[in-house]
Amino acid sequence: QVHLAESGGGLVQAGGSLRLSCVASGRTFSIYAAGWFRQSPGKEREFVATISWRGDTIYYADSVKGRFTISRDNGKNTVYLQMTRLKPELPAVYYCAAGPMAAATSRIKDFGSWGQGTPVTVSS
C-alpha cells in the first residue's frame, strides 16, 4: 500500500477550473495505476478518471469527458486532476486512489490505497 494525500479542492464558480493533486509516498507508486473518484452526501462513491502506471491508458466517466484531464508525474509521485468548465453540481469530496494493479481501471474494488479526500464545491 501507499499513503496518498490530496490537495487543491475548494469553492469555485460554475465554469471555473480547479487542479487537484495527489502526492503518494512509497516507491511502488510509480508502477501502480491511479484514479480519482468523488462522493456527494447521501450518494455512492463514483468513478471520475483513471490512469495506468505508465500514463498511456486513460479512462474518464462520461460526465467529465472533455472537461477533466488526469495526468501523472512518477518522478514526483503525483497524480493530477485538472478540472475545467465545472458545473454547479452537489458538493463532493474527491478521492485519489492507487494500485496495486498497473492497468487503468474504473472499479473501486481494484484500488487498495485511498487518500482522505479533498472537498470541491461548485457554486452557480
Question: What is the H or E stretch that residue 23 is in?
Answer: strand 18-25
d(Cα 105, Cα 80) in Å, to the nearest integer? Answer: 16
Instruction: Give the CA distances from residue 17 to residues 23, 26, 106, 109, in Å, rounded to whole numbers and listed in that order.
Output: 20, 30, 23, 29
The whole-number pLDDT of residue 83 equals 98
Sequence length of the chain is: 124
The whole-number pLDDT of residue 26 equals 78
Write out residues in the chain with pLDDT < 50, as ranges.
none
The whole-number pLDDT of residue 3 equals 95
The whole-number pLDDT of residue 5 equals 97
The whole-number pLDDT of residue 31 equals 86
Contact 92, 39 (CB under 8 A): yes
Contact 113, 5 (CB under 8 A): no
Q: Which cell is 91 given?
A: 458538493
> Cβ neighbours of residue 113 under 8 Å, at least 6 residues apart?
1, 2, 3, 4, 24, 32, 97, 98, 99, 100
Residues 68-93 have pLDDT tens digits of 999 999 999 999 999 999 999 899 99
The whole-number pLDDT of residue 30 equals 82
The whole-number pLDDT of residue 29 equals 81
d(Cα 57, Cα 124) in Å, to the nearest integer? Answer: 33
